[in-house]
Structure 1
Amino acid sequence: MNPPSPSVDRPRLLLIGAGHVHLQLLRHRRRFGKAEVMLVDPGGFWHAGIAAGMLGGQHDASEGRLDPARLATHHDVTPIRGRLASLDPETKQARLEDGRTLDFSLLSLNLGSSSPCPPPSSPGPRVWAIKPIPRLLALRHCLEREFAYGSAPRIVVVGGGASGVEVACQLRELARRSGARAAILLVTRDKRLLEGAPAGAVRWLMRHLARQDVTVRCDVNVTGHAPGGVTFTAADHAWGEDSLQWLAADHVVHAAGLAPLEGLERLGLPLIPERGLAVEETLQSPGSPDVFAVGDCAALIQRVLPKLILHDRHQAAVLADNLSARLTGGSLTPYVPRRVAVTILDLGGQGLAIHGRRWWGGRLALAWKRRLDRQILHRLPT
């Protein structure tokens, strides 16, 4: 049964997706006055900041998981369990995968992102993506079973950015906690790890990985999966019929960055290729002033958001301003993201903090990350 259509005297604000920004937005519920507010939740919220630590066994799965429906109800927001299938911005109707349609006066999309992952080969290695986050929990359980039976799996982690580095280190931490052995290889298509990070930080990281017995190979472009491993091309051998090479693997974890969700083109909204839904500085979709997009699914037209910086709190405040302005006829506020913020990697017992050209590594950096993660979870409405 579809929810009732919004009446003329009571507009409906429809929030689709229970990401960080929308959960932060619940705190601003009173600013929307008599408007009906609904939150479409696909099922559970996971804080990405502790996902790597969960993989390594340092966090329980329940530590970073919240129930958006309970939070919504507490803040006088109607929760709806479902996933968006299509959108008609002109008639202001959203259609869910189960066939329900929802009318709206204002719409905000906080749909998240995906982790690109080539299709598996059969026979071939087990293939894992880092998103959605429950896949990391499934990987942990799978490896724990293998460790319990005395296996020493060969694991290839694809991606030399922060996610790939964290995953490789947490896999080593998981093996250590299980008293088991595992061969862990971290590969990247770039010429070094953490492109854009200070050179000193990268040197410190390489020494740390060597101590953790994590092998690193750069200039390796993984092209697919094959029986017993992965295929790749290398920068020094990239041409000719024999350019394709092979690496042995029992498990392959793809952590080479984030990409827009599949199916965004069905929403009838402007897109920026490989970045997501186009939005103005007011977070509005061009040509659809009553449609907003935030978080990983949104791409500012005027600038590219810095990676690995949490924008949720500031975005939620600006989104609240602008949704309220659309309801009352006020002026809108531009969203200006922070250019520099602290990024802290959880390396399993050690942390690596980077702030612009400054950096520091060690246990204190990890303790700081733990504190920041607790603060982020504490800021979410309860």
Structure 2
Amino acid sequence: MIVDPPPSGAPLLLVGAGHAHLHLIRQRRQLPAQRVILLDPGGFWYSGMASGMLGGQFMPQADRLDPMQLARRHGVEGIRGRLSGLDLDRREALLADGRRLAIAATSLNLGSTLHLPAAHPEGPALWPVKPIPRLLALRRHLSRAFDSHQRLHLVVVGGGASGIEVACQLRALAERHAATPEIRLLTRAPALLPGAPRGAVNWLRRRLARRRITVMTGLECCGPTRGGVMVASPNQPWGEDSYRFLAADHVVHATGLSPPDIVERLGLPTLPDRGLAITATLQSPAASWVFAAGDCAAMIDHELPRLGVYGVRQAPVLLANIAAYLQGSELHPYHPQPRALSILDLGDGQALAIRGRYWWGGRLAWWWKRQLDERFLSAYR
């Protein structure tokens, strides 16, 4: 690990405005750097309310923050742009516009993305759940289609929390427009929400049936074709009857999240499909001046699910360790919580909350989620 001291007077560079960096910006006074710079291409979209925005519960502006405005308020310089690489020998950040910045340290909080399969020229429209503005584009597209009385076939790929929320919010959006599309939820797993309590899954399946959402387990999407998608069982031997056709006008992919491509171009160790490798102190094992948190980072000793709550919990440790690094003090490890609370917004004033083996569903869970979401966003408005 590179342990040389940071250059005197060089700035701290925060790349990306994710959950953890919002906290660092608000606590800028605790960072012993003469200059702190935020590099980010656009607004912060809050993942906790993204599906609700798709379903029409929230206007887009309710789910979005301007990180540059937050940065100015707390004495952080803002640069609209993207990182294109790091010069590890000269300790410089390379910007996509050609600029080079000498830095004391940098922290990456870039979130995750989703790579779609190749589209078919006569196949369905394909939509990823990330970046979140794509869900806003889907909402606007479907709203026009519903208003023109198109009878649509919608397929959601992914039986985890994101896929379930998206399927429910598609039904909510349709109901706002008095439309009745066919909605199918497809997962390659044998059941929804792998690892969730059985009672929670059974409760959820009953809710989905009432919302007229067809659940198809044990099937994976093999790719788009004319008028729909081909699906198959992952465990079925190949043969002429291996594939089934599902009619689809739109397919939303809610599985297969991966770190942004830039992570692989930094010249630092990564963990396949997980992100930039980081130690317990949230540092790269090959460059102590590079920190990372959230979905783009992969802890070497812990495989964390891609949930915003982990970025939020990493934030105080990230803040303390960057400050300690800049001062030459001892850094402390981040210890992930063994269980995290997850609350699924089901789009009709109902939600399902799960934490470990405990769960509860209904309006109280939905109200609790609203309180948590509004509390988080209000802290940065």
- Shorter-chain-normalised TM-score: which range? over 0.9
Distance 1:291 1:90 in 2: 13
Tell me the SS of whatever aligns to 2:61. coil
1:203-222 superposed matches below 5 A: 203-222=202-221
Q: Which residue of 2 aligns with 1:373?
A: 373
1:30 shift after superposition: 1.1
Change (3 A) 1:276 1:8: closer
Q: Which residue of 2 aligns with 1:189?
A: 188
Q: Is the CA contact 2:7–2:104 (under 8 Å) kept in the aligned structure 1?
A: no
1:101 shift after superposition: 1.6
Change (3 A) 1:197 1:34: closer
Change (3 A) 1:29 1:236: closer
Aligned residue identity for 2:322: L
Tell me the SS of whatever aligns to 2:51. helix
Aligned residue identity for 2:374: R
Q: Which residue of 1 aligns with 2:3?
A: none
1:282 shift after superposition: 0.3
Q: Is the CA contact 1:18–1:42 (under 8 Å) kept in the aligned structure 2?
A: no
1:90 shift after superposition: 2.2
What is the aligned length? 375
Q: Which residue of 2 aligns with 1:105?
A: 104
Q: Which residue of 1 aligns with 2:309?
A: 310
Change (3 A) 1:236 1:8: closer
Greater shift in the superposed pair: 38-47 or 89-98:
89-98
Distance 1:313 1:29 in 2: 16
Distance 1:219 1:61 in 2: 35
Q: Which residue of 1 aligns with 2:229?
A: 230
- Tell me whether 1:64 sits opposite 2:63 in the alignment: yes
Q: Is the CA contact 1:161–1:257 (under 8 Å) kept in the aligned structure 2?
A: no
- Tell me whether 1:14 sits opposite 2:18 in the alignment: no
Q: Which residue of 1 aligns with 2:200?
A: 201
Q: Is the CA contact 1:24–1:379 (under 8 Å) kept in the aligned structure 2?
A: no
Q: Which residue of 2 aligns with 1:319?
A: 318
Q: Is the CA contact 2:13–2:36 (under 8 Å) kept in the aligned structure 1?
A: yes
Aligned residue identity for 1:346: D
Q: Which residue of 2 aligns with 1:76?
A: 75
- Identical counterparts, % of pairs: 53
1:112-131 superposed matches below 5 A: 112-131=111-130
- Tell me whether 1:363 sits opposite 2:363 in the alignment: yes
Q: Is the CA contact 2:113–2:260 (under 8 Å) kept in the aligned structure 1?
A: yes
Q: Which residue of 1 aligns with 2:353?
A: 353
1:23 shift after superposition: 0.9
Tell me the SS of whatever aligns to 1:375. helix
Tell me the SS of whatever aligns to 2:344. strand
Q: Is the CA contact 1:116–1:254 (under 8 Å) kept in the aligned structure 2?
A: no
1:209 shift after superposition: 0.5
1:246 shift after superposition: 1.6
1:233 shift after superposition: 1.3
Q: Is the CA contact 1:115–1:131 (under 8 Å) kept in the aligned structure 2?
A: yes
Aligned residue identity for 2:196: A
Q: Is the CA contact 1:163–1:257 (under 8 Å) kept in the aligned structure 2?
A: no
1:375 shift after superposition: 1.2
Distance 1:12 1:66 in 2: 24
* CA deviation map 1:326-366 (0-9, x unaligned): 11110001011111132100001210001110111111111
Tell me the SS of whatever aligns to 1:35. coil
Distance 1:313 1:156 in 2: 32
1:19 shift after superposition: 0.8
1:97 shift after superposition: 1.6
Tell me the SS of whatever aligns to 1:63. helix
- The runs of at least 4 aligned residues of structure 1 exceeding 6 Å deviation read none
**TM-score, structure 1 as length reference:** 0.95
Tell me the SS of whatever aligns to 2:106. strand
Gaps in structure 2 of 5+ consecutive residues: 1-5
Distance 1:36 1:236 in 2: 55
Gaps in structure 1 of 5+ consecutive residues: 1-6
Q: Which residue of 2 aligns with 1:50?
A: 49
Q: Which residue of 2 aligns with 1:168?
A: 167
* CA deviation map 1:177-202 (0-9, x unaligned): 11111000000000000000000000
